[in-house]
Structure 1
Amino acid sequence: MTGLGRAGLLLGALWTSPNTAIGLLLGALGAVFGARPKWRQQDLAIVFHRWPWGPGGAMTLGNVILHTGVDLDVPCHTYAHRAGRCVEPSVVLADHERAHVYQYMVLGPLFLPLYLLCGGISVRNRFERAADRYAATGRGWWPWSR
């Protein structure tokens, strides 16, 4: 990676650090109940596996991923597939969550308000559709790309 690329990653991590701080706080709380942190270089995130709360799956906050399972490299359905809008092949959960890490690193503190304005956790949300697109193709993680 070039110096410019490293500088961009550092600036993105700094820009989203308020979100990461929330993720670390929740991760530390989960660790009291058995969650285990692990750095995943490929995802640019600390993943707290065995997150003890929630319906299952994962949630990203900055450079932190809270995951209810033991392995982030598992298949999952896209939001459109789960909503019955279409039949799509499964994607890898880690790839989907990595797209959210990228989104956070660009939008920083603006991510959460924009995410909620775009519909929250639903198939209508352009952030979720972009994360699914990235997980399926390796391209298009930006919520306003096609």
Structure 2
Amino acid sequence: MSRRRPRPAGRLGRWARRFWASPNTLLGLALGLLLVPFGARLRIVDGVIEIAARRAPPRRRWPFAAITFGHVVLGTHAQELQRLRAHERVHVRQCERWGPLFLPAYLLAGAWQWLRGRDAYRDNPFEVEARRLGGG
């Protein structure tokens, strides 16, 4: 069975999505690299940089278990990154669609839900999509 090579348009599209999401990716890298001196571990899984802040679950609860910035996912520890991988990959695809507008759109969507008396996180359309497609 021969392995098919990606078509140039497919490869170009992949690079275009990476470039469009790159401002968020750079922010995620900057934040993640700040954690490295404190023991954070970096790993690339399916083209996404995963950064586990700690080797074991933290003693105190963080405000999130994992958070996505472009093609970088920061997680409290490796087990959480694995558990939430499918959910966070939906956010990676959202970052590819929205590019540098993703973070403002995400925050505005949450603020809109909060102003309507709903939960800013649970009812955020970006999170609703990530739970529907990726679980978590």
TM-score normalised per structure 1? 0.73
Q: CA RMSD in A?
A: 1.8
Deviation, structure 1 residue 100: 0.3
SS of match in other structure, 2:68 = strand
> What whole-Å deviation, never above 9, does each CA across 1:94-123 have from its counterpart, x for those lacking one?
000000000001110010111011106611
CA distance in 2, matches of 1:66, 1:73: 12
Count of residue pairs the alignment pairs up: 116
1:48 equivalent in structure 2: 51
Q: How far apart are residue 49 of structure 1 and its match?
A: 1.1
In structure 1, the partner of 2:28 is 23
Q: Which segments of 5 or more consecutive residues in structure 2 lack a partner in the other structure? A: 1-5, 112-119
Alignment of 1:3-82 (within 5 A): 3-41=8-46, 44-50=47-53, 54-71=62-79, 72-74=81-83
Unaligned runs of 5+ in 1: 75-92, 137-146
- SS at 1:124 equivalent: coil
Which amino acid is 1:95 matched to?
Answer: A
Identity %: 42
1:7: how far off?
1.5
2:108 paired with 1:103: no
CA contact 1:56–1:69 (8 Å) conserved in 2 = no
Which contiguous aligned blocks of 4+ residues in structure 1 show a shift greater than 6 angstroms? none
Instruction: Judging by fraction of residues, say which structure has more helix.
Output: 2
